[in-house]
Amino acid sequence: MATGDALAAAALETLPITVAVLDGDGEILLTNRAWREFEADETTADHVGHNYVATAAMDADDDEHAKRAVEGLESVLEGDRDAFSMEYPCHSPDEKRWFMMRAGRFTVDGAVRVTVIHLDITDRKLAEIAAEESAEQVREEHRALEHVLERVDGLVREVTDAAVGAGSRDEIERRVCRRLADTDPYVLAWIGRVDVTTRRISPREWAGRDDVPLEDDDLVLDSDETHPAVRALEAGEPYVIQDLAAFEDADRWWPTGADDHYRSVAAIPLTYGDVTYGVLALFAADPDVFDERELPILESLAETVSTALNAIEARRMLTTETVVELEATIEDPSLFVAELADALSSTVIYRGLTYDEGGTPLAFFRVETADPDRAVDAAADLEAVEAASVLTEYEDSVVLELALGNGIVTALADHGAVIQRLDADDRVLDLALELPNGQAARSAYDLLDERYDRVELRSYHETDQPTRTPRDLQSTIETKLTDRQQAALRKAYYADYFDWPRGVSGEELAESMNVSRSTFHQHLRAAQRKLLEELFAGDPTSEA
């Protein structure tokens, strides 16, 4: 069996780290294979019998790391410390390398001995350097972001003040464009509106260089899909061209990429909820301006402008007495009214709309058919219809009550539309809507155009209303009637309960509401009383 010294020496040879053992004077007594192979790769092997400390001291004057190594080794040899370690670079012509040297003191039979180990820490150092570079990059990006925020902070305040402080839509657009065009690096800003009937984007306000025109012609949605303003409105999200000089279609609209004054452009839709007020086009003199830091700021500004436009529009609605009337023809077999007309080979006439106590839309349609059961079955088979029943029967037609899911009727209501006509004949739908403003009208029309195959806008115009409009009366009544009272009144009206002879009995209407006959009449009489009170309000002959 090998002696202890022989076993230790043999084990030392197998270690993958470089190891040397020094005597009390710093002379090398023993090295392992890893040490010898490494030294042989670098210079003439410096092994047993050489003084390791003296050799390192030769480089101490010119090498800070060698100086530290000598001082540390001497302190261990002299007994001032038991161990010493340091990290140092040892680069070769082909690669970067780092090592950690560790010296440890021990004794053998009273004689001082020191082990010197060199451990390759290159992978760790490279990882640390990469982490530091990454951290520095983060710090640089943070500094750049702080600069951007500092630059735009004033812009945000100014644009917000301009938007909120303006008294009209034209003034908002004008002041916002001027603020943006006066802010580096932007050189031109314009805001365009969309005409519902012509589908044209018309730049209404702009600010920038005075020696150039704005746009030679109006832009038409769907006709020039290369224009960033068109793309932004069609997609409903910002569209950016970072370098107009490299954009081959830029010469199709002004300003072109060939003009050095305009190198990048961003177009941002101005939307509030489902209503689109237009589009903001912003040009910069340099390429790559609208990056991931710049664009969110502009989107936030666009939201501020849209909110201000909405507030102006809401104020205008409260002080004016106009509504938008829109009529359209829709050809699409998937629309449930057209489906019903096709299934029954009949004309379907819209009568009205109400909601049950759970908020489900209840639409009423008169269908020309002598077979009520067939009409109910055909309606119940429609995907958009949750339930169908006959409200009134006539000799050659029926009034159907259809409980609808979240379809086109609720979507139009969300856009502020009041359905005046929703009739179908031979798979063609005749639609008439009343909307509170032009933005709501465009939004509703876009909704129809996106959902259905063929939508033709037949008419669009604003209509003056009398001082007290039917809509005013309806809104007032709806606030006074309970849901049950309103449902009873609407059902009775749509089912021709007030005609003579009556088209339906009170018992039948009560059954459709799942209430007793007496309860139905109680709801109906209460609704009628409130209706008459509102109708005769202010009449000196009426009771208070």
Q: Which of 15-24, 87-96, 212-221, 456-465 has the lowest average pLDDT?
A: 212-221
Is pLDDT of 180 > 80?
Answer: yes
Q: Which is nearest to 358 in space by CA: 387, 322, 400?
A: 387
- Secondary structure of 52-110 in HEC code, one letter for each residue: HHHHHHCCCCCCHHHHHHHHHHHHHHCCCCCEEEEEEECCCCCCCCEEEEEEEEEEECC
Right CATH number for 4-120 from 3.40.630.30, 3.30.450.20, 3.40.50.970, 2.40.30.10?
3.30.450.20
Per the document, the length of the chain is: 544
- What CA–CA distances, in Å, run from 276 to 188, 230, 234, 279? 22, 13, 11, 8
Residue 212: pLDDT over 70: no
Helices (H), 267-335: 294-319
Does 75 score more than 90 pLDDT?
A: yes
Residue 83, pLDDT score: 93
pLDDT tens by residue, 343-363: 998 899 998 888 887 788 889
List Cα–Cα distances, 125 to 88, 131, 366, in angstroms.
Answer: 10, 10, 82
Contact 71/84 with Cβ under 8 angstroms? no
Mean pLDDT (whole number) for 139-165:
67
**Which amino acid is located at 516 in the chain?**
S
Q: Provide the pLDDT for residue 317.
A: 61
Q: Which of 397, 343, 391, 404 is nearest to 367 (CA)?
A: 397
Q: Give residue 467's pLDDT band: very low, low, confident or very high (50, 70, 90).
A: very low
Q: Where are the domains of the chain?
A: 4-120, 145-319, 322-535
**Domain 145-319, CATH among 3.40.1400.10, 3.40.50.150, 3.30.450.40, 3.40.366.10:** 3.30.450.40
pLDDT in tens, 365-398: 999 888 999 999 999 999 889 999 988 888 888 9
pLDDT value of position 538:
44
Verify cis geometry, omega within 30 degrees of 0, for the bond prior to 436: no
What pLDDT, in 10s, does the model give residues 276-290? 888 998 888 888 888
Calculate the average pLDDT of the chain. Answer: 80
Question: Considering only CA atoms, which of 279, 287, 280, 281 is closest in space to residue 262?
Answer: 287
**Residue 277 is inside which H or E element, if any?**
strand 275-284
- Return the pLDDT at 82: 92
Q: Which of helix, strand or coil describes residue 370?
A: coil
For residue 194, is pLDDT > 90? no
Is residue 45 scored above 60 in pLDDT? Answer: no
